[in-house]
Amino acid sequence: MKMMAVMFAASMLLTSCYSYTSVVGSGAQGNNKTTEWNHYIIYGLAPVGVSDSKQMAGGAENYTVHTRQSFVNGLISAITFGIYTPTTTTVTK
């Protein structure tokens, strides 16, 4: 019973990868996706290289921007003890 409680608590605590979505204009009209990584240091406090969603959209007026910390991003952040903290941005046109 204790093991199940520990597993449940761990599964709830490990689901905290953040994600946010921005809709520009009417939002994505198709399935054309462009993905880039954003580079931060010191637990994400200092940006080193951040993608430009407007440039990624390639002049489109309607698109959706989804920025998240994926499992791979979180793994890299954990391995580097938060010194390097990447995120992923996907623009859908």
Q: Which residues pair with 19 in a beta bridge?
A: 68
Concatenate the DSSP letters of all residues of 36-85 into one string. Answer: EEEEEETTTTEEEE---HHHHTTT-SSEEEEEE--HHHHHHHHHTTTSB-
Q: What is the pLDDT of residue 14?
A: 62
Dist. CA 71–CA 18, nearest whole Å: 10
Q: What is the pLDDT of residue 18?
A: 78
Residue 4: how many CA atoms within 13 Å on its side-chain side? 1
Q: What is the pLDDT of residue 93?
A: 92
Q: What is the pLDDT of residue 17?
A: 65
Dist. CA 88–CA 93, nearest whole Å: 17
Give the chain's residues under pLDDT 70. 11-17
* pTM confidence score: 0.77
